[in-house]
Amino acid sequence: MLNPVGVPADTGSDFVSAAQAAKMLRVKPQTLYTYVSRGLIRSIAQRDQKSRLYYREDLEKLKARSNARHGAEPAAESAIRWGQPVINTSITEITPGGPRYRGRLALDLAREGRSFESVAELLWTGIQHHEPLLWEHELIPRDFKAQLDRVVLQRELPPLLRILAAATAVLGVAEPSHNEIRRGTTIPAARQLILTLTGCLGYLGANPGFRFPDPHQTVAQNAAQTLIEKPSEEMVSAINAALVLCADHELSSSTFAARVAASTGAELRACVLAAIGAHSGELLGGSCDRAEDLLRRARSKEDVHRRLTELEQAETRVPGFNLLLYPEDDPRARYLLHRAHTLSSRNARAQLIDEFIEEAERRLHLWPSLEVGLVALAATLELPERSASALWAVGRTAGWIAHVMEQRLAGFVLRPRARYVSVK
């Protein structure tokens, strides 16, 4: 692995020189080289091959451990990333072309028809599977459906994100005493969790209830058969593409919540439960439901124009439009809208949504975000209401899990500091 030309070895860099590394650890150069040979510190060669640079992150971890062992006063402070606003990650990068998963543009993965399973594995392990992939996973407990149905169906059906939270909690209760951290088998548990959440899509149907996923089918096939009476291959492919594009988006609020929980040593389901809680807020996952209400309730062309006039006069942020990370356009939304347009199952409701989006762009300069793309696709497929936000959450679970894994390897607690401001 070669270092890029001109990497500075200053306090703002991820790399430091040998002299600086030895000074940080208060050791001799020979001791530093011993740490490198033992794999405790990573280093990379300079192009001149005469010197090396050392990862600041590894040095900080080693220094924190040393301080903790020797009871040094700054141990707590150095073991925690006090108030650091940026977290290093190798999972996803946001670019003008949309998110890149481990260096692969998510849109390219969707266009190539990569399965959601293979994309999840790419996020988790960095390995790209090109052949069809069916997951081997820990079995969902037999009495899981009865337990979850008892919780969910005892009164008015709650929002689906609350159902996903309940399913995650029930699955955690069923976990044996030796959890996935102790067993060192996070990926089988991760697959089980995603398939369990896919089964929760059954609560959106006319006869709500948990549906055990078919182990011989993909996540997209299970989702399609739960949401659509007779799904075609074209419909399954569209749902798979939606899941792929939802899989991760760098450090969203829900992903950060998952990483905070992971940094404390929480088990996988607890971390995902924290993420679902953050995702359910009306400014994140709830924004998808609000966008659906806005788009689906237009009953005629006249109604579309009336609603747009109301939005123009209100001068408030419109849910599902103008994501700040994409000032020009959200490529994920544009691709989903394109997929919706090419589906053979076009209907009057989908056409009205198209007209709303086009008119919003023309009159109000509102550019659709992922939520709007999901709502338009769901309408074209004639999925039950709230299917858009449900697919978003199921897909995003893959990214949450990837960040949980990465945060565990980072080995430090995420604990920002507060700047006290007197109210006097």
Domain end: 26, 52, 82, which one?
82
Say if 135 falls within a structural domain. Answer: yes
Q: 48-57, 88-97, 131-140, 180-189 — which is least confidently predicted?
A: 48-57
Position 13 scores a pLDDT of 67
Q: Are residues 217 and 108 in the same domain?
A: yes
Secondary-structure percent of the chain, ordered helix, strand, coil, rounded to 5: 55, 5, 40
Position 169 scores a pLDDT of 95
Q: Is 101 helix (H, G, I), strand (E, B) or coil?
A: strand
Could you list the residue range(s) of the whole structural domain that residue 201 is in? 99-249+272-278
* Interval 21-63: pLDDT, tens: 988 888 888 788 777 866 778 888 766 556 788 888 888 878 8
- Residue 113 gets which letter from DSSP? T
Nearest-5° angle of CA 294, CA 300, CA 305? 65
In Å, what is the CA distance from 153 to each residue of 97, 172, 206, 380?
Answer: 42, 20, 13, 29
The dihedral over CA atoms of 34, 412, 173, 212, expressed in degrees to the nearest 10, equals -80
Position 83 scores a pLDDT of 47
The Cα–Cα gap between 399 and 370 comes to 16
Longest CA–CA span in the chain (Å) reads: 78
Q: Are residues 118 and 244 in the same domain?
A: yes
pLDDT of 1 > 60? The answer is: no
pLDDT of 139 > 90? The answer is: no
Q: Are residues 42 and 138 in the same domain?
A: no
Position 348 scores a pLDDT of 86
Q: Do the beta carbons of residue 296 and residue 353 sit within 8 Å?
A: yes
Position 81 scores a pLDDT of 53
Q: Are residues 149 and 23 in the same domain?
A: no
Q: Do the beta carbons of residue 402 and residue 87 sit within 8 Å?
A: no
The backbone region for 113, taken as left when phi is positive above 0, alpha when psi lies in -120 to 50, beta otherwise, is left
Q: What is the mean pLDDT of residues 378-394?
A: 96
Q: Do the beta carbons of residue 146 and residue 277 sit within 8 Å?
A: no
Q: What percent of the chain has pLDDT over 90?
A: 54
The Cα–Cα gap between 152 and 208 comes to 9
Q: The tokens of 114 are what?
A: 């990569």
The Cα–Cα gap between 399 and 1 comes to 26
Q: Do the beta carbons of residue 166 and residue 177 sit within 8 Å?
A: no
Confidence category of residue 6, pLDDT binned at 50, 70, 90: very low
CATH number at residue 20: 1.10.1660.10
pLDDT of 180 > 70? The answer is: yes
Q: Are residues 114 and 236 in the same domain?
A: yes
* Interval 317-366: pLDDT, tens: 788 998 888 877 899 999 999 999 999 777 888 888 999 999 888 888 88
Domain end: 263, 278, 293, which one?
278
Say if 39 falls within a structural domain. Answer: yes
pLDDT of 111 > 60? The answer is: yes
Q: 64-68, 181-185, 385-389 — which is least confidently predicted?
A: 64-68
Position 11 scores a pLDDT of 46
Domain count, the chain: 2
Q: 138-142, 213-217, 297-301, 356-360 — which is least confidently predicted?
A: 297-301
Q: Are residues 164 and 193 in the same domain?
A: yes
Tell me the one-letter amino acid at 348.
A
Domain end: 257, 278, 299, which one?
278
pLDDT of 412 > 60? The answer is: yes
Q: Are residues 77 and 106 in the same domain?
A: no
Q: Are residues 74 and 163 in the same domain?
A: no
